[in-house]
Each structure stands twice: as structure tokens, then as C-alpha cells.
Amino acid sequence: MNARSMLWTGQELVDGSRPEAEPVVVDSWLLSDGGVVGLEDHERRFRRACSYRFPQLAADELTCFLAAVRERSPASGSWFPRIEAWDTGLAVQFRLAPKRRETTELWVPSVPDPRSVPTVKGPDLPALTGLREEAQQAGADDAVLCTSEGYVVESAHSAVLWWRDDALCVPTPVLPALESVTVSAVLNVAVEHGVRIRRDRLSLDEVGTLAVWTANTLHGVSPVTKWRFWNGKTIVGPSASADEWNYQLDKAAHPVRKPSSPSDAR
């Protein structure tokens, strides 16, 4: 089974075909042998997005839906579930997780960030998917989202972090970046290990001089090794290993489901 779609009836999840239209709100996470990093934060982000787009959706129904997703989550294997909301209902896809990238190449398009609702995950998914497809056609993994002034906000499917003067940097809050559960977990690791954190701006003019990482729930922290520009220019930047950081993130995973019996707890 590569994927399993389940629809929410209002009382339970049942197997069924998802609507053909793109969902309006989505969220996803890496589920590895029953454990997830920051699942409550993923659920909180999904709730907030649903309350923004579907104010008529009752909070209690969302609570029941998310509890059912947890209950039906596979207890073993590597999965990449995606929860989805339309104006007609809720659904979840249990998908096998693709292989994690060890490094990332980014493509810089000729146009600035096209999102209409950058702080909500879902409404701009078609545009972001299209940008990633263009990036892949150019030989890269993902597309960069920049302001019209040339500051990096994030990529189409990942957050962006970088190192400056021994400080781990994240975009300043004035930039329209989506809240990243993985970045929050990375910053927790930084605090635990005494690494200085800095709110900063990363200009495209600097990408060849600073070590940059992407971060998302599927690939974890991935060093950016190359920047490909829409006009054919290529920049190879310095690289900083993220192996220890990914190890610490994996340690932060918590079980999705509580053991139902003493034998399950072993």
C-alpha cells in the first residue's frame, strides 16, 4: 500500500476517494515507527488555518477528527500523513514517506513570492507545487520564495535558516514566512546546546557567502549546496553539516498513540 485515503464522516474515518478539487487547508508530518516531532504543533497550525478559512467548522469536530487520525496512524514504518480540509469536509492521506534528502539545491525564480495567504498552509499549494516543478526542471529540489527586494523568505516547501557569525539565523518576523514546526524544534535544540539565535534577513546577494539550511518535517535539516537562478547563473555556497541536528530532532519524536496494553508499551 503506497497511500490510503480516509474521509471524515463526522463521527469516524472511513476509506474513500478524496474530492478532485485541491484542499484549502493542509498539514503533514513525518511518522517514523509511530513517532512524530511536534505533532501537537502541526495540529495547532491546522486548527488555526481551519478557523481562518472555515469559521463555521466546530472546534469539537476538529478535535474528534485529529484524535481519529492519531488512532488510525500506522505504528510501524515510515509514513508521510497529510490532513486536509475542504469546504465539504475533512480527510487524511496516509502516504509512504519518500527518501530523505541529505542536501538541497534551490532554484531562484524571476518573480517574487506569489502567495496570497503566506501564513496559511494550503490555499497557495497549487502555485507552490508549480514553482517546485519548475525548480526540478532546472535541476534543483525546490524553489526560493523572495520579497521584491531580494530577501529570502523560505522555499516553496521548506523553511530556510542560515549561519552568520556563529549564530543560527531565522527570518525576521516582518517577513511573511509560514510558521514552521521543524524550525521550532531546531531552535529548541539550539537553546539546549547554547547556540545563539538571531532574527535576520538573508539577501540573495549573500547566498554564496553564508552556510544555509532548509528545514521541513520530511527531510529534516538539509544543507543547501547550490543555488540555481532563473537566468542560468549558479552559485555554490559554503556548507555546514546538519547530521547532529537531525539526530537531535529524531530524538525529540513522541509516540502518536498511547500504548493500549502492557505488551504494546514494550
Per-residue pLDDT tens digits for 133-159: 999 999 999 999 999 999 999 999 999
| Confidence (pLDDT) at 21 | 87
Measured CA to CA, the distance from residue 36 to residue 54 in angstroms comes to: 26
Does the pLDDT at position 59 exceed 70? yes
- CATH code 3.30.470.10 region(s) in the chain: 3-95
Number of neighbours of residue 221 by Cβ within 10 angstroms: 26
Comparison of pLDDT for 69 and 266, the residue scoring more? 69
Tell me the one-letter amino acid at 26: V
| Confidence (pLDDT) at 194 | 97
Q: How confident is the model at residue 260 (pLDDT cuts 50, 70, 90)?
A: low
The answer to whether the beta carbons of residues 6 and 90 sit under 8 Å apart is: no
Query: Which of 3.20.20.140, 3.40.50.1700, 3.30.470.10, 3.40.50.620 would CATH assign to domain 3-95?
Result: 3.30.470.10
Does the pLDDT at position 42 exceed 80? yes
104-251: CATH architecture: Alpha-Beta Barrel (3.20)
Supply φ then ψ for residue 208, to 5 degrees.
-90, 0
| Confidence (pLDDT) at 207 | 95
pLDDT single digits (tens) 223-246 = 999 999 999 999 998 989 999 999
- CATH code 3.20.10.10 region(s) in the chain: 104-251
Measured CA to CA, the distance from residue 45 to residue 122 in angstroms comes to: 11
pTM of structure: 0.92
**Average pLDDT over all residues of the chain:** 94
| Confidence (pLDDT) at 208 | 92
Q: How confident is the model at residue 264 (pLDDT cuts 50, 70, 90)?
A: very low
